[in-house]
């Protein structure tokens, strides 16, 4: 996954600080010049795709040169080059260009290209998320996971108990998501599809005016005819249509328009009221448990009063002891009648859960509850019936035990579900960032506004133009087409200062416009938006299991059977010792016999054991930890990342864009020959414009100063462009051979370096600057000094890491002089310079071999091998493109302080997981022996089954509440001190 994302970063040639999509301005043509609108329509349907294997590429500059060359061809819609996998994917129009021409163009750039068959190049994989109802403990989730993993075509299946969801990666050519749903249903749980296929947007519409099945079918047929509609699911009872569609081709307003134009306008469509999301499901579950608990109280309170309170009030005791049939009293009959609905109607969920679990060869918490309550209830029934048929048998019932057990367990589940709902508050808060409405603009052919209309923000489609007034939330990802303002992006990126926006700048949905009016063109809507991708990333993180959770999963397989065995052994031991007089008769309470005493001990053991607490120990802490991280601008991708990050004791820092701001500037120029500076920079910029390296961009930006009259200057054509990885570039401009690069490149190209040039290079490196040499026709002409300022907090961050006993190392592709100067300035002792991307990965592996747990912090351009090799990869400066899969942790604010926050938060989270396990295991290890009566011989203390049941319910709640304390996490005070002193990153 890391390689996949970082290859995209290389393709686009951007730092992680600027990953937002490049906007297509209204003035930019979509098709080749001279194509009429009719031809455009024809071309839409004749689009083709070709995949090429490209060998010889070594860095993002190579990929950039291939991409630019291909895009210059007529009829190219899109070209994407993957430098890591040596591939180029091209979308084109066959009427203008063919595969052979594209292949030849790639080879003209200097690389070998081979056309590949796309079908064999990539494995077909689709991901779907499924909500699962009815899970109670880890044995349930393990059962479902095992059932899914054995299905042919399933590549990976994860089931999360805390979120009650499954994420399944499967081959759609082999099976469908309906088969996955059916498998879960067959396992005994309810399955509801959340999403299927990451490239599809999904919306639910409610239709009014539909009266017959034919009307539903007519609407379905009309919608299916729309391009881009992939799947339609209909719920006739709710008049609900669920549509999956490609946002590039259609959108919700089109659906509503088609529906309302079908059937002579008698149908009305609207977005279906929210009801299928995680929040609404959680609220429904809370309501169900609350309702069940209240009903159980209505029956249980009288049972409790008649058995434990009224028996001590003389008048009431006499009435309750009045015999009805033989020795059966009114009190016993009343308790039997009242406890029966609790046992079989309100407690039905435990029977259903037990049956489903046992049916598939596993045992869960429901089995323990059902066995315990049934033992108490049916023994009581036996006792009462025997009293009713006997003239001298004094019965003793446990009806209050079964009724109170179920009531307390329902109370515990109610509190547990409420607490679990709070663990995912971070996602709910993120979802609330999206505004409910948006102002949609209608423009004429010249771009003038001719109409404004307020609409539901969920109806926004790609390429819509939206008006954002001061104080309003941005309704969609897009770019500014008119106006200027400042936008507060802290809620998405964590950046505290408002960011200036003007025409052409990108904006993120959910951020707040502060002062001016903006017109935004929507580019990413629905599931493509940054907000949706952040939510999806956090949800995926909460799905992923930490390795430490395997411990609980292993225990869960044997926990319930072991508890049942212990319970039976406890009953048998007390019964036999009592039967044979192994303990004094005085130990047995006056209202019981040895069998009843033994039965109470056995039931207490059965109901006090709690597999839920163990199962919730890790996932709830991970859920809260990842949510808190997201609110701090640190996206931690699940339990694996958390577990690895808390062990980190060595951090490898990239230099450019990580320790430095990442925006190099040309600060000095020295010409060794007489030459006009404008002409010099025109030649240099012509070459560097073909490179995606940050230093090259700095040179081109500086060269623009000599072209003040042009907003976007066109540089002379550079022929025979060649990028030499880690050294520089060369090309022919105006029939002159231009070489731009470092000292070693000049030596390789047999260019003599004069003494004054070497002195200037030494001086530049002494100031922690980078020196670039420029040669024209084999003669050194100039030296450029480029400075990339340190991030203001870099020195303090390294110092804090030292205090946390974390070793810091800097690895850079820059020269040794600059590297040592930067390292000295920030306080890093270990430096490795002039390192190529693959060399960085080797350094990481060497550190790991030395016993270090290594984190790699980089901006992601050339750091991909190292990020993959490290125990924890941290991508710094994610900007707005949150759909990244490169690193284990994404630092959204580009602040170095967040490296400390990530490590500290992971340590605190893992400490919480340990506390949860200590409590869950300690509770069971102490509770079961006490329930079994180990204290009874010496203290006469015994744990009634209903109290044991309450303790069991409380244990799960306490584990969840322990995890919830992470919500109050505060980052280290030393970081707050940096802010007070004004050390922040622009």
- Residues forming the active site: 654
Q: Please state, in angstroms and rounded to a whole number, the distance separating the CA atoms of residues 670 and 769.
A: 14
- How far out from the chain centre does Cα 865 lie? 22
Q: What is the DSSP string of 62-84?
A: HHHHHHHHHHTSTTEEEEEEETT
Please, what is the angle between helix 973-980 and helix 897-932, to 10°?
150
Tokens for 545, please give them.
């299991």
Tokens for 428, please give them.
């709910």
- Residue 301 exposed, middle or buried by CB count within 10 Å (0-12, 13-18, 19+): middle
Query: CB under 8 Å to 473, separation ≥6 — which residues?
Result: 433, 434, 435, 509, 510, 511, 512, 513
- How far out from the chain centre does Cα 523 lie? 22
CB 728 within 8 A of CB 742: yes
- Integer CA distances (angstroms), 828 to 746, 766, 824, in order: 30, 16, 6
Q: What are phi and psi of 476, to 5 degrees?
A: -160, 155
Tokens for 543, please give them.
């799905």
Query: CB under 8 Å to 901, separation ≥6 — which residues?
Result: 629, 632, 634, 971, 972, 975
- How far out from the chain centre does Cα 270 lie? 30
Q: What is the DSSP string of 393-453?
A: ------HHHHHHHHHHHHHHHHHHHHHHHHHTHHHHHHHTTS-SEEEEEEE-TTS-EEEEE
CB 453 within 8 A of CB 479: no
Q: What are phi and psi of 439, to 5 degrees?
A: -95, 110
Query: CB under 8 Å to 383, separation ≥6 — which residues?
Result: 395, 396, 397
- Integer CA distances (angstroms), 303 to 194, 448, 858, 945, in order: 43, 76, 66, 15
Q: Please state, in angstroms and rounded to a whole number, the distance separating the CA atoms of residues 872 and 883.
A: 18
Query: CB under 8 Å to 668, separation ≥6 — which residues?
Result: 764, 769, 784, 785
Q: Please state, in angstroms and rounded to a whole number, the distance separating the CA atoms of residues 781 and 752.
A: 11
- Integer CA distances (angstroms), 928 to 198, 552, 574, 594, in order: 47, 18, 15, 20
Q: Please state, in angstroms and rounded to a whole number, the distance separating the CA atoms of residues 402 and 153.
A: 46
């Amino acid at each position: 996954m890391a390689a996949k994302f970082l290859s995209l970063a290389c393709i686009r040639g951007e730092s992680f600080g600027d990953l937002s999509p490049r906007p297509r301005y209204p003035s930019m043509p979509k098709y080749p010049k001279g194509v009429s609108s009719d031809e455009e329509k024809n071309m839409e349907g004749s689009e083709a795709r070709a995949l090429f294997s490209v060998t010889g590429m070594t860095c993002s500059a190579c990929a950039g040169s291939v991409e630019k060359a291909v895009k210059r061809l007529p009829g190219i819609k899109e070209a994407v080059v993957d430098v890591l996998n040596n591939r180029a994917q091209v979308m084109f129009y066959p009427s203008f260009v063919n595969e052979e021409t594209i292949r030849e163009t790639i080879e003209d750039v200097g690389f070998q290209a081979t056309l590949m068959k796309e079908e064999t190049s990539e494995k077909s994989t689709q991901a779907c998320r499924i909500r699962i109802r009815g899970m109670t403990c880890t044995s349930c989730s393990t059962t479902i996971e095992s059932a899914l993993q054995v299905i042919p075509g399933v590549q990976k299946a994860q089931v999360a108990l805390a979120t009650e969801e499954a994420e399944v990666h499967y081959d759609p050519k082999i099976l469908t998501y309906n088969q996955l749903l059916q498998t879960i249903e067959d396992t005994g749980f309810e399955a509801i599809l959340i999403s299927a296929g990451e490239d599809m947007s999904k919306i639910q519409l409610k239709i009014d005016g539909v009266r017959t099945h034919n009307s539903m079918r007519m609407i379905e047929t009309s919608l299916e005819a729309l391009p881009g509609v992939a799947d339609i699911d209909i719920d006739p009872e709710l008049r609900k249509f669920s549509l999956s569609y490609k946002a590039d081709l259609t959108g919700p307003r089109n659906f509503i328009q088609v529906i309302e134009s079908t059937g002579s306008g008698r149908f009305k469509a609207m977005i279906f009221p929210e009801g299928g999301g995680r929040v609404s499901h959680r609220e429904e579950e809370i309501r169900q448990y609350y309702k069940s608990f209240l009903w159980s109280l209505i029956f249980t309170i009288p049972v409790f009063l008649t058995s434990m309170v009224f028996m001590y009030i003389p008048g009431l005791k006499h009435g309750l002891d009045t015999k009805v049939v033989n020795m059966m009293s009114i009190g016993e009959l009343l308790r039997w009648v009242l406890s029966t609905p609790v046992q079989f109607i309100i407690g039905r969920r435990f029977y259903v859960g037990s049956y489903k679990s046992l049916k598939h060869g596993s045992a869960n918490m429901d089995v323990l509850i059902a066995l315990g309550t049934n033992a108490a209830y049916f023994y009581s029934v036996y006792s009462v019936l025997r009293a009713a048929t006997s003239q001298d048998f004094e019965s003793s019932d446990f009806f209050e035990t079964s009724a109170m057990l179920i009531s307390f367990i329902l109370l515990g589940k109610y509190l547990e579900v409420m607490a679990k709902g709070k663990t995912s508050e971070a996602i709910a808060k993120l979802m609330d960032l999206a505004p409910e409405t948006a102002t949609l603009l209608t423009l004429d052919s010249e771009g003038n506004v001719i109409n404004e209309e307020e609409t539901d923000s969920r109806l926004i489609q790609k390429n819509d133009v939206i008006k954002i007034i001061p104080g309003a939330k941005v309704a969609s990802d897009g770019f500014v087409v008119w106006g200027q303002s400042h936008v507060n992006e802290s809620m998405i990126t964590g950046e505290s200062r408002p960011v200036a926006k003007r025409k052409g700048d990108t904006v993120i949905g959910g951020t707040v416009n502060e002062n001016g009016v903006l017109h935004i063109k929507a580019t990413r809507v629905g599931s493509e938006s940054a907000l949706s991708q952040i939510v999806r990333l956090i949800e995926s993180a909460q799905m992923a299991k930490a390795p430490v959770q395997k411990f609980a999963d292993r225990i869960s397989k044997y926990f319930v059977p072991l508890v049942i065995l212990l319970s039976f052994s406890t009953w048998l031991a007390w019964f036999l010792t009592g039967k044979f007089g192994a303990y004094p008769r005085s130990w047995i309470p006056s209202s019981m016999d040895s069998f009843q005493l033994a039965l109470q001990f056995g039931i207490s053991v059965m109901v006090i054991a709690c597999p839920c607490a163990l199962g919730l120990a890790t996932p709830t802490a991970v859920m809260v930890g990842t949510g808190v991280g997201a609110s701090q601008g640190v996206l931690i991708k699940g339990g694996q990342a958390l577990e690895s990050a808390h062990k980190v004791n060595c951090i490898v820092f990239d230099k450019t864009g990580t320790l430095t701001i990442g925006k190099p500037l040309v600060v000095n120029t020295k010409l060794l020959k007489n030459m006009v500076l404008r002409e010099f920079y025109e030649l240099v910029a012509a070459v560097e414009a073909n490179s995606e390296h940050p230093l090259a961009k700095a040179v081109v930006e500086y060269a623009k100063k000599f072209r003040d009259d042009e907003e976007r200057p066109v540089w002379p054509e550079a022929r025979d462009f060649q990028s030499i990885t880690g050294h520089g570039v060369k090309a022919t401009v105006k029939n002159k051979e231009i070489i731009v690069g470092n000292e070693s490149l000049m030596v390789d190209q047999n260019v003599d370096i004069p003494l004054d040039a070497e002195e200037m290079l030494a001086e530049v490196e002494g100031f922690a600057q980078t020196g670039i040499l420029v040669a024209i026709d084999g003669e050194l002409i100039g030296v450029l000094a480029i400075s990339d300022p340190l991030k203001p907090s870099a020195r303090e961050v390294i110092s804090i890491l030292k205090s946390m006993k974390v070793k810091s190392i800097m690895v850079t592709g820059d020269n040794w002089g600059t590297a040592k100067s930067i390292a000295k300035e920030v306080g890093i002792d270990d430096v490795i310079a002039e390192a190529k991307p693959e060399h960085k990965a080797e350094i990481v592996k060497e550190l790991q071999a030395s016993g270090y747990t290594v984190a790699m912090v980089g901006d992601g351009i050339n750091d991909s091998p190292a990020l993959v090799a490290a125990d924890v990869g941290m991508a710094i400066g994610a900007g707005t493109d949150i759909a990244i899969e490169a690193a284990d942790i994404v630092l959204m604010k580009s602040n170095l302080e967040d490296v400390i926050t990530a490590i500290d938060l992971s340590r605190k989270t893992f400490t919480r997981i340990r506390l949860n396990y200590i409590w869950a295991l300690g509770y069971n290890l102490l509770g079961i022996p006490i329930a079994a009566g180990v204290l009874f011989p010496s203290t006469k203390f015994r744990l009634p089954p209903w109290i044991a049941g309450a303790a069991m319910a409380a244990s799960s709640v306490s584990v969840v509440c322990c995890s919830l304390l992470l919500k109050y996490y505060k980052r280290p005070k030393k970081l707050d001190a940096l802010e007070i002193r004004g050390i922040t990153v622009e």
